[in-house]
Structure 1
Amino acid sequence: EAIEKINTLKSNPECADIVWHYIGSIQRNKTRDIAEHFDWVQTLERDIIAKRLNDQRPDELPALNVLIQVNIDNEDSKSGCLPAELPALITAIKGYERLQLRGLMIIPAKADTDAFARTKALFDDIKASHPELNAWDTLSMGMSGDMAEAIDNGSTMVRVGTAIFGARD
């Protein structure tokens, strides 16, 4: 669905500056399309997917900006790596020249009142312990219903699709 829209809009000079973000579960058979058409991936959670995105990113495109999706509340129903898995995934991504690691993304549990604060602390700890991550600048937290709280806790990017487009079927 997105690729058709991207191709249509890229041919329009008025839309040439659109920055495309992929948000969603990433299946192995979709990595080539994502690597070729998107500017950002906000839901990277496994090394195998990172390697595929890196290997399939066309040389003529800039490095793909990626955020690691963290399952901050260890919910079975949510995607993302666990906080304890972050060091290994960060190390792997740092080795991929076609990926630019930019930060973290979370979707907290609805009942969690401190997930944003815990994620901000995790983000800051990673930044302090990895000074070589000079592009570590993005904390994608919050959606249409909780964006004010996310911003209050340090979010640099909120996802407001429902507020703009309405609920999806």
Structure 2
Amino acid sequence: MECRGEAVVEKERIHLRPVTLCDAAPATLHLLPCEVLVNGPAPVGRFFTPAVRQGPDGLQVSFRGRSLRGEEAAVPPGFTGYVMVTEDRGERLKGKQDFSGSSDSDGEGDEQELVEAPESLEREFDRFIGATGSFSSFTLWGLETAPGPDAKVHGALAWPSLAEAIHAQVPED
């Protein structure tokens, strides 16, 4: 039964292409304290080459004239981080993006090559994602000061161990 004030929820299923996890190249990641209003591929390596310095209170760098302070954040033990991309409808990933941080390329080939997907039982609301990079740590940046232990990212990274503790078998006394 449908209520009158409810919004229509679109169906969407997301499928992972597991083969992409095996070939995901190591990535160098920086989590910046800003919002980019564009979503899509970009040759970031051509325009963003951070000159990170070790200062007395942690990592330091400037971004667009603003002073940033940072720290390394590690993915929890037993886990691996992946850089994921969504395939366009009717296309499927053929290549990989280069997230290694090297700037040897001239910018060509920074975008993934897409090919037509084979006909299958996919429906219009099916979406596919694949890994283009993997990481075990990343640099977390804050404006003027390092993010510190209260940063939301640290809470998210602590969640797997908290979830394990919550769901662990309680010994009978």
TM over 0.5: no
Q: Which of 1 and 2 has higher RCO (CA within 8 Å, sep 6+)?
A: 2
Category of TM-score, reference length = shorter chain: under 0.3
Higher helix residue share: 1
* TM-score (normalizing by structure 1): 0.22
* TM-score (normalizing by structure 2): 0.22
